[in-house]
Amino acid sequence: MPLATVNGISLNYQVKGDRTRGTDVKGAGPLVVLIMGTGSPGRVWELHQVPALVAAGYRVCTFDNRGIAPSSESATGIAIEQMVADTAGLIELLDEGPALVVGTSMGARVAQELALARPELVRKAVFMAGHGRLDQFQKTLSAGEHELDASGVRLPPKYEAALTAVMNLSPATMADRNAARDWLDLFEFTGGPVTPGIRAQRKMDHDFDRVQAYRGITVPCLSVGFADDRMIPPYLSREVADVIPNARYQEVPDAGHYGYLERPEAVNKILLDFFAA
């Protein structure tokens, strides 16, 4: 991935298209910008969403949000406004806007605020596990996470893997013996110390309520909820769709917070249908 100076920081990004269709050339296909959630690099989109979008004729931009190396870690603190400006600056750098914008979880918040503040850069927007506020459970969970980070305590890898699974996957996935084993092995293998940049992402303001502000969003929007999401319960995602004029809501069954990884075919179809409509 190339590094670019965007909004005063280094931003690690990549743009892909289908060489056989000529969409690997700038402007040869509609640009989709994918915004990842807390603590995850942009390459996570490469597992399922990027191949499906590229095969459908789109150019796809993925990037590492500030806080995720090799983008600037911004360990001294991160604000949502900075992340929105980062994404806007990247779209302007690519000079292929307005773009189709997709975000998940924290990335959905970025996409929501981008659609509100810079509608000229957004053709359509999709918010997966979107939310305009957090309920008491999420606030308490975040506070506990901050305390755990500050304590320096490391959870045993297997226990951390089990917690990650129960908070991010559907019971339907965990009921499948093979799937559960594979996910738990993955979480155990990829766990480890939390970097200063990820800590900065986790410490972003969680006492916000932007629901009514989203009445001002004018671009076409789709809010996608995951039926078994414990991190961002689907009623919060539906709430976002309810306040945005003409926005749609769609829910993916048997999917947790990582629904785009658990149910990629369903999620990819939702994206492609919405973009083509």
Q: What is the share, in percent, of the chain residues with pLDDT greater than 90?
A: 87
Q: Determine, yes or no, domain membership for 191.
A: yes
Q: Does the structure show a pLDDT above 90 at 88?
A: yes
Predicted local confidence at residue 161, as pLDDT: 96
Query: Are residues 56 and 186 located together in one domain of the fold?
Result: no
Taking the C-alpha atoms of residue 207 and residue 11, their distance in angstroms, rounded to an integer, is 27
Q: Determine, yes or no, domain membership for 35.
A: yes
Predicted local confidence at residue 44, as pLDDT: 97
The order of strands in the sheet holding 99-104 is 3-6, 9-16, 59-64, 31-35, 99-104, 122-128, 221-226, 248-252
Q: Does the structure show a pLDDT above 80 at 61?
A: yes
Across the range 136-162, mean pLDDT stands at: 90
Whether 206 is catalytic is: no
Whether 72 is catalytic is: no
Which is the catalytic residue, given 105, 142, 170, 237?
Answer: 105
Q: What is the pLDDT of residues 259-272, one digit of tens each?
A: 999 999 999 999 99
Which is the catalytic residue, given 71, 72, 229, 237?
Answer: 229
Q: What is the pLDDT of residues 96-115, one digit of tens each?
A: 989 999 999 999 999 999 99
Following DSSP, what letter does each residue of 226-267 receive, concatenated?
ETT-SSS-HHHHHHHHHHSTT-EEEEETT--TTHHHHSHHHH
Range of the domain at 181: 137-197
One-letter amino acid of 272: L
Nearest to 56 by CA among 111, 105, 100, 12: 100
Query: Are residues 149 and 267 located together in one domain of the fold?
Result: no
Which helix or strand (DSSP H or E) is residue 184 part of? Answer: helix 177-190
Query: Are residues 213 and 168 located together in one domain of the fold?
Result: no
Q: Determine, yes or no, domain membership for 59.
A: yes
Predicted local confidence at residue 164, as pLDDT: 95
Predicted local confidence at residue 1, as pLDDT: 66
Query: Are residues 239 and 260 located together in one domain of the fold?
Result: yes
Q: Determine, yes or no, domain membership for 212.
A: yes
Query: Are residues 191 and 223 located together in one domain of the fold?
Result: no
Query: Are residues 83 and 13 located together in one domain of the fold?
Result: yes
Across the range 228-249, mean pLDDT stands at: 98
What is the domain-level CATH number for residue 66? 3.40.50.1820
Predicted local confidence at residue 191, as pLDDT: 82
Query: Are residues 123 and 241 located together in one domain of the fold?
Result: yes
Cβ–Cβ under 8 Å, residues 96 and 59? yes
Q: Determine, yes or no, domain membership for 202.
A: no
Q: What is the share, in percent, of the chain residues with pLDDT greater than 70?
A: 100
Full-model pTM: 0.96
Query: Are residues 15 and 130 located together in one domain of the fold?
Result: yes
**How many distinct structural domains can be found in the chain?**
2
Predicted local confidence at residue 195, as pLDDT: 92
Q: Which of 152, 176, 197 is the last residue of a domain?
A: 197
Predicted local confidence at residue 160, as pLDDT: 94
Structure-block tokens of residue 204: 């972003």
Query: Are residues 193 and 123 located together in one domain of the fold?
Result: no
Q: Which of 177, 197, 217 is the last residue of a domain?
A: 197
Q: What is the pLDDT of residues 11-29, one digit of tens each?
A: 999 999 988 888 889 888 9
Query: Are residues 270 and 227 located together in one domain of the fold?
Result: yes
Q: Which of 197, 216, 231 is the last residue of a domain?
A: 197
Taking the C-alpha atoms of residue 249 and residue 57, their distance in angstroms, rounded to an integer, is 25
Query: Are residues 103 and 213 located together in one domain of the fold?
Result: yes
Write b or e for each residue in 18-53: b if 16 or more Cβ atoms lie within 10 A of its Cβ, otherwise e: beeeebeeeeebbbbbbbbbbbbbbbbbeebbbbbb
Which is the catalytic residue, given 40, 223, 237, 257?
Answer: 257
Across the range 168-184, mean pLDDT stands at: 97
Q: What is the pLDDT of residues 63-77, one digit of tens each?
A: 999 999 999 999 999
Query: Are residues 170 and 247 located together in one domain of the fold?
Result: no
